[in-house]
Amino acid sequence: MGSIPTPAAEREGAMWSASERIICWQCGAEHAPGPFCPACDAIQPLPDQADYFQVLGVRRRLLLDTTALQKRYYELHRRLHPDLFQTGPQQARQASVRNTAAVNRAYRTLRDPIDRGLYWLTLQGESLGAGNKQVPPDLAALVFELQEHLEELRAARQGNGAVHLVEELTAAHAELIERQNALLEQLEQNFARWDAGGAAPELLTRELKGILSALAYLGTLIRDVEKGLET
């Protein structure tokens, strides 16, 4: 079974602490943490403190090449799959189950920009709710207005007014999608500033929270409007 090439970021020391070492359960070689022993290629349990970027072996950056990320995921998934270790030693079976679950969680999170942003907040010791309870005024007004329209639509389903309300909500849905796309562009710009460095982390964190909060409210509103239009 061929070994996976060490990612450039790991070779540059961007992934694992240079001082952190583990002992291979199979050959006894001391090596930096990783999914496989570089000496004998035996599967190794990933450390508890590994973050999702480390689990997938990619640089800790917010702007990711999702095609490359998917390729890396499939590569790891094929090599770590528990079916390959069913008749192997207990250490290998346990490491396979543990690592496969970690890789699945990491990929599901990092492939989506919103989930990636939320996870990034946790790496900063923050959460979306912390100090971020205010809904932007313009968005709050929109939420109230559309909820009123949805109530009116439910009440008017059997009457002549339903057609007009459906048209209004359909137009509002298109506007919501535009707002969502604009916020996703802002999210990408925020990611780029994190990756570039130099900006104050407190400022970037506050901005990131605001964008993610607005996206969360918009996402809920879009789902409510779509559900109302389908009823």
Q: Note the residue count of the chain.
A: 231
Banded model confidence at residue 129, pLDDT cuts 50, 70, 90: confident
Please tell me whether residues 107 and 142 are part of one structural domain.
no
Domain that holds residue 58: 8-111
Overall domain count for the chain: 2
Same domain for 143 and 106: no
Same domain membership, residue 198 and residue 106: no
> What share of the chain in percent tops pLDDT 70?
85
Which CATH number belongs to the domain containing residue 69 in this structure? 1.10.287.110
CA distances from 73 to 68, 81, 145 (A): 9, 12, 43
Is the same domain home to 167 and 103?
A: no
Residues 6+ apart with CB under 8 A from 9: 15, 57, 58, 59, 60
Same domain, 83 and 20: yes
Nearest CA to 107 out of 75, 154, 132 is that of: 75
Domain boundary among 76, 111, 146: 111
pLDDT digits (tens, 9 = 90+) for 163-176: 777 888 888 889 89
Whether 221 is in a domain gets the answer yes
Tens of pLDDT, residues 10-42: 333 334 555 688 899 999 999 888 899 999 999
Whether 40 is in a domain gets the answer yes
